[in-house]
Amino acid sequence: MIDPGDTGDQGAPLAGLRVIAVEQFGAGPFGSLLLADLGAEVIKVEDPGAGGDVARSVPPGAADGHSLYFEAFNRGKRSIALDLTNDAGREVFSRLVATADAVFNNLRGDLPERFGLTYATLGAINPGIVCVSLSAYGREGPRRAEPGYDALVQAEAGWASLTGEPGAPPARSGLPLADYAAGLIAACGLLTGVIAAGRTGRGRDVDTSLFDTALAMLSYPATWRLSADIETRRQPLSAHPTVVPFQFFATADGYIAVACAKEKFFQALAEALELPELLADPRFATFAARHEYRAELLARLGARFAEQPTAAWLVLLKGRVPCAPVREFPEAADAETLAARGMLAAYDHPVLGAVRSVGVPLRVSGYTPHYRASSDLGADTEDLLAELGYDEADAGRLAGAGAFGED
């Protein structure tokens, strides 16, 4: 196990931060999961009429209102079942807001205003509240009412056109990276708002979207296109569009990834592969030259890499040239490897049994994450009502008025 240098238990870095999350499925829960893993209290508001977050029923392993998919995004969060279209449900929600630092939602862009999840409404209850909205296309503009999902956004934002082999159909990433990136941007926006509110005493709205995040992730290819009308195209074997060699190579038994992002790495590669003639060839002397004569250089390197298995090349190149094996997913998602990196989130679940997942990728000195199972739908309702000052008679009145859905 990695020891980052323990400085003593200083407690969770986000302890004391209370986030009310009106969220479901992927992008929103992924963002608030980071906050929960770092010690924030995330109270998940779920619609009782819909059976809670739809992710609770996503296979495989779905049972009794839980699934491994749901668990991956919602461990450590509390759950309250509230009907936000009901006056009694809104009463409870308002009391929650009065105790919170932020309200976070990933509803369709037109719905936060309809459900009163914006600062214009909630600021009257809690002037310091930060209201974060993560939708497909933002809270403003002609597309605010459109639903959207990761695959749609990867297609429309141009990601799919940059992914895969040349001549093959456009491809979505094997992971919902637009969801994940947008969730992290939303979490960053939430913390930004909370820091500002701590300084000024006043909260605000924070708005982001899957589409805007995906556009932002276009980064340098977009800069090339917008500034110099340079079009980025897919390259074989996941190659970088201009840095050569920076790609996968087929070996005798698989693939190896090589990244020569500095001149010294290309020199070391040529020496390690016993191809000194490459260093004497002016066609390969600089980044620009190697880009111009990409085909000729890659033909030479490809033929050489095909001569030996991946493991042999790793022994030869490690420590000299940035490289890595192209592993199958089961090799990467290995409990022992994750544990060695301090990245294994392991705990017991009352329905699903032993859960093993991927932990928080931040090391904060003086803090060790303690992972725990997600809650049953509405399991924390009674405790939260008590914390909010409701007694048993109040709870009965609220239930009878439909605050927690129909019996």
Catalytic residues: 179
Cβ distance 87 to 79 under 8 Å?
Answer: no
- 205: phi then psi, degrees, rounded to nearest 5: -90, 145
Burial class (CB in 10 A: 0-12, 13-18, 19+), 348: exposed
From the CB of residue 287, how many other CB atoms can be counted at a distance below 10 Å? 15
List of long-range contacts for 396-400, beta carbons under 8 Å, 24+ apart: 397/88, 398/88, 398/89, 398/91, 398/92
Going by their DSSP bridges, the two strands 102-105 and 246-250 should be labelled as unpaired
Instruction: Output the CA–CA distances (angstroms, integers) from residue 69 to 16, 107, 355, 360, 397, in the order listed.
Output: 27, 19, 11, 17, 35
Measured distance CA(162)–CA(405) in Å, rounded:
46
Question: Taking the alpha carbons of 70, 132, 111, 27 in that order, is the dihedral positive or negative?
Answer: negative
Report which of 42, 55, 12 is spatially closest to residue 132, judged by C-alpha positions. Answer: 42
User: Which of 154, 143, 170 lies closest to 214, judged by CA?
Assistant: 154
Token pair, residue 71, equals 């668990």
Distance CA 90, CA 100 (A): 15
Beta-sheet strands, E only, within 148-273: 204-209, 246-250, 255-259
Helices (H), 307-359: 310-317, 329-332, 335-340
Q: What is the DSSP code string of 136-148?
A: SS-SSSTTTT---
Cα separation, 352 vs 30, in Å, equals 20
Question: Which amino acid is residue 118, in one-letter code?
Answer: T
At residue 64, the 3 state secondary structure works out as: coil
